[in-house]
Chains A and B, each alone.
Chain A
Amino acid sequence: MRQRIGRWIIPVFGGLAFVYLLVPIAYIFAFSFNDAGRTNLVWRGFTLANWLDPCGAPQVCQSLVNSLQVSVAATLAATVLGTAIALGLVRYRFRFRNTADLLIILPLATPEVVLGASLLAQFLNLGWNLGFATVVIAHTVFCMAFVVVTVRARVAGLDPKLEEAASDLYASPLATFRKVTLPLLLPGIVAAALLSFAMSFDDFIITNFNSGSFDTFPKFIYVAATRGIPAQANVIGSSMFLLALCVVVTGQVISYRKRKALAAR
């Protein structure tokens, strides 16, 4: 009898935890169909109007476009710089390597308020105007740390014999990198880029410190929260959720197929 309970306690508890995890997401989704009017606080009846006119509320779509631009720019910068650092740190030894190592890990151990506040202090000090550029710079700092950590694990797991085989076959270092190293690292780099994009797109605290009057999607919602978030924000939030779900599921299916194909070979 005790064994029985022991067997069931984890699935039941885990299942409840998954419900806890999904309740707010279901709530956001449900309230995107609310016939809300100005404030989306109580259920007033089902409507498709919000989904048919996602840009109906002022500023929602502009802030979304701003957010997408920031995330794409920051992800590109962080992925390129971070991948180069990961390669350099794992593959090569040089002076100041340990310093570089520490400098890259520290942003991860720094809370967002401090990152945001210190960058704001720096921008005030330099006399730069806050806006798109300062937000992209700020996002690149914390995304880069994630890229380095993710890609570095992949580089460390790479068999150096493969690259040696390529150079034994008279491939130039550049060709070796393009034809062997990069394809092997690609899954790690793509994962890092997706993670960066998600972190950047959803960031509020660092953005709030460094954006001035420039509105990103999270900042728009935060400001709107005091006087009522329009239902259109829920529509956009739900769509982004579905989109991300599609990307991840597609990725899983692809890797599953690959594994199956490899096993069949």
Chain B
Amino acid sequence: MTAAPGLRGRHDAGRGRAPEGGPNPEEAAADKKRGRIGQLLVLPGFTFLLLFFAAPVVVLLAMSLYTKAPGAEIGQFEPALQFSNYAVVLREYWDVLVRSFAFALAATLAALLIGYPMAYLVAVRLRAHRLLQGILLVLLIAPFFSSFILRTQAWKQILADEGPVVGVLRALAVLPEDGRLTATAFAVVCGLTYNFLPFMTLPIYASLERLDTRLLEASGDLYASPMRTFRQVTLPLSMPGVFAGTLLTFIPASGDYVNAALLGNNRDTTMIGQVIDSRFFRVVDYPGAAALSFILMVAILVLVMAYIRRFGARNLF
């Protein structure tokens, strides 16, 4: 690099913001070169995503409008613009779609209620105890280390009719004699909550870890009750974590079908992911499955956008 030191300084000032409009040809050339390096770095991954993320979504959209020609074999569809596919699947699966979002919402709230105290305990209360904090932090992500399906299957067996939990609850008369936990909406929401809990606790932990505890002391010194300190100091400062955590839990939970398949029943706990899967592989109705996928994707994007707008993009990242 042969640029003069002073010039390099100006260069840095411009970085991170829009390039300043200084009519310096040398600087402009350097900017252009830097721009080209940037493009070269991004190009391979960008191309990959265009081919295997953007293009597939377009193909999915096209496929959702395909039609079945009369007398065609199973799995044979013709390109068309059959918008009625959407009306058909929406009419048939509206309830399932609403239920999926309701389950995802319930699981997100439950994960927040369970995850926040956990994150708070590890990040704030145990700050002075480095070793214990380290151990619990590892345990916080422990579910990631074991298989998602094995864990869900384990829950199925723990909550089974002949399992220990049902036995105890029946003995305590919390559950009626013939009451059960598996194959219920409760079990599905429990499974969703459990499986996506680390996605909630980790972002909250990350934002609470940066919390300056002197602020809590200051609040206490000013005669704020612990509750008020939490409401007016701790919670607002941890909002970015809560915000990221709720999104990271809600999005995968609404599309999940493993929990519903293993812990639910076939009647009133079906989630939209199960329907998409069976439309693709059992019914071999590609247009219907594609239309449902697209509806799910758009519904989530709309919900997420509304959420971001309501609670502020400043909490994002």
Interface residues of A (CB under 8 A from B): 3, 6, 10-11, 13-15, 17-18, 20-25, 27-28, 31, 41-42, 81-82, 84-85, 87-89, 91-95, 97, 100, 103-104, 106-115, 117-122, 124-125, 137-138, 140-141, 144, 148, 160, 164, 167-168, 173, 198, 202, 204-205, 208-209, 217-218, 221-222, 225, 229, 233-234, 237-238, 240-241, 244-245, 248-249, 252, 256
Q: Are A124 and B157 in contact (CB under 8 A)?
A: no
Q: What string of 1s and 0s marks CB contacts (under 8 Å) between B148-192 and chain A?
A: 111101110110101000000000000000000000000000000
Per CB-CB distance, the 6 closest pairs between chain A and chain B, nearest first, are A92-B38, A111-B255, A88-B41, A14-B121, A244-B145, A81-B45
- CB-contacts of B85-105 with A (<8 A): none
Contact of B262 among A103, A114, A225 (CB under 8 A): A225
Q: What string of 1s and 0s marks CB contacts (under 8 Å) between B253-265 and chain A?
A: 0111110001000
Residues of B within 8 A of A42 (CB): 162
* In the complex, B273 has a CB within 8 A of chain A: yes
Q: Are A198 and B139 in contact (CB under 8 A)?
A: no
Q: Counting chain B CB atoms within 10 Å of each CB, which of A14, A41, A160 scores highest? A: A14
Q: Are A225 and B149 in contact (CB under 8 A)?
A: yes
A244→B155 CA distance, assembly (Å): 22
Residues of B within 8 A of A117 (CB): 60, 276, 280, 289-290, 293
A256→B194 CA distance, assembly (Å): 30
Count, chain B residues at interface, CB 8 A: 90
Q: Are A119 and B56 in contact (CB under 8 A)?
A: yes
Contact of B280 among A109, A120, A137, A256 (CB under 8 A): A120
Q: In the complex, what residue of chain A is closest to B138 when comparing beta carbons?
A: A248
Residues of B within 8 A of A93 (CB): 15, 18-19, 31, 34-35, 38
**When A92-B38, A94-B39, A114-B293 are in contact, do A103 and B53 touch as well, CB less than 8 Å?**
yes
Q: Are A85 and B45 in contact (CB under 8 A)?
A: yes
**When A22-B139, A124-B286, A221-B149 are in contact, do A111 and B38 touch as well, CB less than 8 Å?**
no
Interface residues of B (CB under 8 A from A): 1, 5, 8, 12, 15, 18-19, 31, 34-42, 44-46, 48-50, 52-57, 59-60, 63, 114-115, 117-118, 120-122, 125, 134, 136, 138-151, 153-155, 157-158, 160, 162, 194, 197, 226, 247, 251-252, 254-258, 262, 272-273, 276-277, 280, 286, 289-290, 293-294, 296-297, 300-301, 304
Q: Are B41 and A92 in contact (CB under 8 A)?
A: yes
Q: In the complex, what residue of chain A is closest to B195 when comparing beta carbons?
A: A24
Q: Are A85 and B142 in contact (CB under 8 A)?
A: no
Residues of B within 8 A of A229 (CB): 150, 153
Q: Are B226 and A249 in contact (CB under 8 A)?
A: no
Q: In the complex, what residue of chain A is closest to B143 when comparing beta carbons?
A: A21
Q: In the complex, how many angstroms separate the beta carbon of A107 from the nearest chain B beta carbon?
A: 6
**When A10-B120, A237-B146 are in contact, do A103 and B49 touch as well, CB less than 8 Å?**
yes
Residues of A within 8 A of B40 (CB): 88
Task: Write 10 A-B pairs (CB below 8 A) sorted by A numbering.
Answer: A89-B38, A91-B34, A103-B46, A111-B273, A117-B290, A118-B53, A119-B56, A121-B56, A218-B149, A229-B153
